[in-house]
Amino acid sequence: MLLKLLGLPLTLPAAGIRYCLEKVAEIADAEMNSEEPVKAELLELQLALEEGEMDEAQYRGREAVLLARLRQVRERQRELARQRSEEDEGGGGARVYIEIPEELR
């Protein structure tokens, strides 16, 4: 007990820094696995094309990059869902599968 008290000036700041870094990593991971920022960029891109701020060739190039990013995000989401379902299988829980039509994705 005495050693823990004496070590607090060193361990407490380290624990606080560790907590902050874990939270930053969680937020970055959530942002990386979210479709919303990519969809927002696609919408802005469409608006820029409609307003004449870019030509069709520029639009197609940037759209291809954004759609590739969107596919990557969706693949990561599927992989995370697979990992969670594999972890849940050990608990014997029930599974529900929902299929979303392609036009709604």
Residue 48's pLDDT is what?
94
Residue 47's pLDDT is what?
95
Q: If DSSP codes are grouped into helix, strand and coil, which group holds residue 16?
A: helix
pTM of the predicted protein model? 0.60
**pLDDT, tens only, 70-86:** 999 999 989 988 888 88
Low-confidence ranges of the chain (pLDDT < 70): 1, 89-95, 104-105
